[in-house]
Amino acid sequence: MTNIEKALALINTFATGDTEKATFGGVPTTYYDLFRVENGFIAEHWDVMETLAAKETWQNQNGKF
């Protein structure tokens, strides 16, 4: 498996996960990771973690993202 295939497998693992069960410190949280691959290696990585508001406070049914 090439490094690119490994990175894509990792991204796919997170992308297809059940985000409604993701927590950080017991608080419902959503995660997003972005990778820049160069020459088959991860050259840069950015991430975001956001606490999910209680569903009854949502302004629509689309969720956080």
Tens of pLDDT along 7-65? Answer: 666 666 666 555 556 777 888 887 778 888 899 888 999 988 888 888 888 888 776 65
Q: Cα–Cα distance between 38 and 3 in angstroms, integer?
A: 10
- Spatial neighbors of 46 by CB under 8 A, at least 6 apart, are 33, 34
pTM higher than 0.75: no
Here the tokens at position 32 are 């997003």
Which helix (H) or strand (E) segment is 15 a member of? helix 3-15
